[in-house]
Structure 1
Amino acid sequence: MIDDRKNKVLQAIIEDYVATAEPVGSRTIARKYNLGVSPATIRNEMSDLEELGYLEQPHTSAGRIPSDLGYRYYVDCLMPERPINPAEQELIRSTFQRKIRELDTLVRETARLLSETTHLTAVISGPQFEKAVFKEIRIVPLGNDRALLIYITDSGLVENQVVEVPLQVTMLELQQVAELLSEHLRGRRVETLSRTALQSLHRELSRYGTLLEQALHFLEQKLEPGDRHRLYFGGTSHMLDQPEFRDVQKLRGVLSFLEQEEAVAAVLGLDRLTEGVEIQIGEEIRLRELADCSVVTATYRVGDRIIGKMGVIGPRRMEYPKVVSILNAIASHLSEMNRLF
């Protein structure tokens, strides 16, 4: 813990650097932040903060910039609450007032909204099908001996497949198959289904032949390990607006990372859906491509169950209080909307 005057100097330096992207000198702090001490005193405090590891001095400047440790101390100990301004509130409210009834569309729109309000690159994970709980199964005839089998989950996630329908199966029987599958699967989580359970279900409903085989084969595929994350991105081009990424090599590294969905999922922490906002800064992310970035994430829910994560990726020099407030507000709205599915 550092003393109160150092806290004020460090907070002033971070907030000025976030606003200007320019190294901060003692005269700037004395002139703009009314700390009640002289530039010489501020200069001494800055030297102490640098020695403690909270500040760094770029080689080409007499000013200082925050280190990863400085940002970490700021978000843990100094970061003020920042209410969402009226324009942001209205944009969030109007987006979630639209009558969006498809979960994919809702999550895609939320990624766009998060990017637009933070001016950073947004990433949202959609609910994972294998972690979803079955709610209902429907079968819609398509003609030409085909039908659309639709799996609806408690989170609003919809999976569908086109299946072949034996010639002798009637519309009434299709409805009976859908009702039977719904009855057997309702309330069960996909990931808890075993192949043994599916085979038992197959024996019980075998009279429906290839139609059921295709449905069960689809579910078996969902039990296979592999890429299970649906990620929705918004505002990747915002990286181009950041002074930190005028260096083409740095920019190329970040953009290359964003193309690797499994790597992005790992950084978002989709294997640990824990409550609250999480902030990872620079070297904490442990990826060379993101050494100059921060990642801020929050979870969203259906009812009492956390089903996904949303976050922003941007420079370490981001406006953390604003980002945290917007993430919390959007996560709350998205969780509330999910109750409608």
Structure 2
Amino acid sequence: MLTERQISILKSIIHLYTKYGQPVGSKTLIQESKIAASSATIRNEMVHLEEMGFLKKTHSSSGRIPSITGYRYYVDYLVHPHKVDPEDLASIKQALENPFKQIDEIVMTSAEVLSHLTSYTAISLGPEIKDSKLTGFRFVPLNERQLMVILVTDKGHVESQNFTLPQQMNPYELEKVVRLFNEELVGKSLIEVFRSLKTDVPELIRQHIRTAENMIGLFDDLFLKAATDRIHIEGRMNMLDYSNDLNIEQFKSIYSLMDGKHDLPMLLGSKQEGITVQIGKELDNELFEQFSLISAAYEVENLGTGVIALLGPTSMPYSKMISLVGVFQKELSKKLEAYYHDIDDNK
């Protein structure tokens, strides 16, 4: 159990380290804080905080910096909501008031704005659309041998992929595929569609098309993409500004992980209610031991749960960043629900 003086010292060191990015010594603490104690007393308390694991000493300075334990205590017990700057709030609302044609555009915009306002890396995970129903399926010719395959769901999600026709395939066979999909798959949920593509649909396609295997693989990829979480990342390069201790190989590994996106849902963790803060080793990935992740799940009626998250240094100003993520949690949910209701009204 920390004493009031120790709490004041820990809180002040975290604020000063966040502000200046330099280890904090007793002299700086006396000059910059309102702690009523002598320099000797403060030094002794800093030693106690270090022994308890809340502070750590760097090799290059006599000052101390917060440890992961110190940050954890600070976030759990000392952080208070920070009033979001009116200009930032206006920027968020204005960006989300723009007309959008797809859900993905809304989710992507939220990541762009959050990264811009914080200069950190923002990650937005769209709401699950696994219960969406397939409402449209068609081919759009691009040239003699290339087509764009497009599917549309009842939730306004659009997925497309280019496809090169095998030499043996003729337009008549293509028409059969479109007719088959409209008869067998339109109106089903994406999960049911994907299941059908693994069971009865391939055999039906083979009955009509000589070069069926290429098309079956294409449809597998297309529907799997549409039935999985949508992830958008903005501000990857911002990591270079607040990760001075990262070597080039570590940065490449982190950038590659984010570029691939496959492991990011695991990094974000379970979609818990409220706002969660993971610090350093709590992210269960050694690449992110110098980072903190603030994430918030948002609910969208009939669409499921998405996540908006902010990845930054462990020394980020937590009060301000938690409050910003909270605003996005609220505004993103409102915008997506309004978008969904507009789709229903226009049916």
- State the TM-score bracket (shorter-chain normalisation): 0.7 to 0.9
- TM-fit CA distance, 1:152: 3.1
Provide the residue aligned with 1:284 in structure 2.
Answer: 282
Provide the residue aligned with 1:111 in structure 2.
Answer: 111
| Partner SS, residue 259 of structure 1 | helix
Q: Deviations over 1:271-292 (max 9, x none)?
A: x222222222112223232221
Query: 1:105 is matched by which residue type in structure 2?
Result: E
Query: 2:320 is matched by which residue type in structure 1?
Result: K
Give the TM-score, by structure 2 length. 0.78
Provide the residue aligned with 1:194 in structure 2.
Answer: 195
| Partner SS, residue 137 of structure 1 | strand
Query: 2:45 is matched by which residue type in structure 1?
Result: E
Provide the residue aligned with 1:100 in structure 2.
Answer: 100
- TM-fit CA distance, 1:68: 0.6
Show the 5 A alignment for 1:1-341: 1-127=1-127, 131-134=130-133, 136-139=135-138, 142=141, 150-153=150-153, 155-160=155-160, 180=183, 184-185=187-188, 188-190=189-191, 194-195=195-196, 199=200, 220-221=220-221, 230-242=230-242, 244-245=243-244, 247=245, 249=247, 252-260=249-257, 261=260, 262-269=262-269, 272-303=270-301, 306-339=304-337, 340-341=339-340
The 10-residue stretch of structure 1 (83-92 or 102-111) with the greater mean CA deviation from structure 2: 102-111
Q: How many residues align?
A: 327
Contact 1:273-1:306 at 8 Å conserved across structures: no
| Partner SS, residue 297 of structure 1 | strand
| Partner SS, residue 37 of structure 2 | coil
Distance 1:221 1:263, change over 3 A: closer
- TM-fit CA distance, 1:50: 0.7
Distance 1:277 1:134, change over 3 A: same
Contact 1:115-1:121 at 8 Å conserved across structures: yes
Query: 2:233 is matched by which residue type in structure 1?
Result: F
The CA distance in 2 between the partners of 1:277 and 1:286, in whole Å, is: 18
Query: 1:194 is matched by which residue type in structure 2?
Result: R
- TM-fit CA distance, 1:178: 7.7
Contact 2:122-2:233 at 8 Å conserved across structures: yes
Distance 1:289 1:140, change over 3 A: closer
The CA distance in 2 between the partners of 1:168 and 1:223, in whole Å, is: 23
The CA distance in 1 between the partners of 2:284 and 2:159, in whole Å, is: 35
Distance 1:26 1:190, change over 3 A: same
| Partner SS, residue 263 of structure 2 | helix
| Partner SS, residue 267 of structure 2 | helix
Query: 2:329 is matched by which residue type in structure 1?
Result: A
Identity percentage of aligned residues: 27
Distance 1:33 1:254, change over 3 A: same
Contact 1:296-1:311 at 8 Å conserved across structures: yes
Q: Note the residue ranges of structure 2 that are not aligned, 5 or more in a row.
A: 341-347
The CA distance in 2 between the partners of 1:257 and 1:229, in whole Å, is: 20
Distance 1:81 1:248, change over 3 A: closer
Q: Deviations over 1:105-128 (max 9, x none)?
A: 322222211111111111223455
The CA distance in 2 between the partners of 1:66 and 1:248, in whole Å, is: 19
Q: Deviations over 1:41-82 (max 9, x none)?
A: 222221111110000011221211000100011111111211
Query: 2:100 is matched by which residue type in structure 1?
Result: I
Q: Deviations over 1:205-240 (max 9, x none)?
A: 999x66xx8998766556879x95543221122222
Contact 2:159-2:222 at 8 Å conserved across structures: no
- TM-fit CA distance, 1:302: 2.2
| Partner SS, residue 194 of structure 1 | helix
Distance 1:83 1:202, change over 3 A: farther
The root-mean-square deviation of aligned C-alpha atoms, in Å, is 3.7
Contact 2:138-2:151 at 8 Å conserved across structures: no
Distance 1:240 1:218, change over 3 A: closer
Give the TM-score, by structure 1 length. 0.79
The 10-residue stretch of structure 1 (3-12 or 138-147) with the greater mean CA deviation from structure 2: 138-147
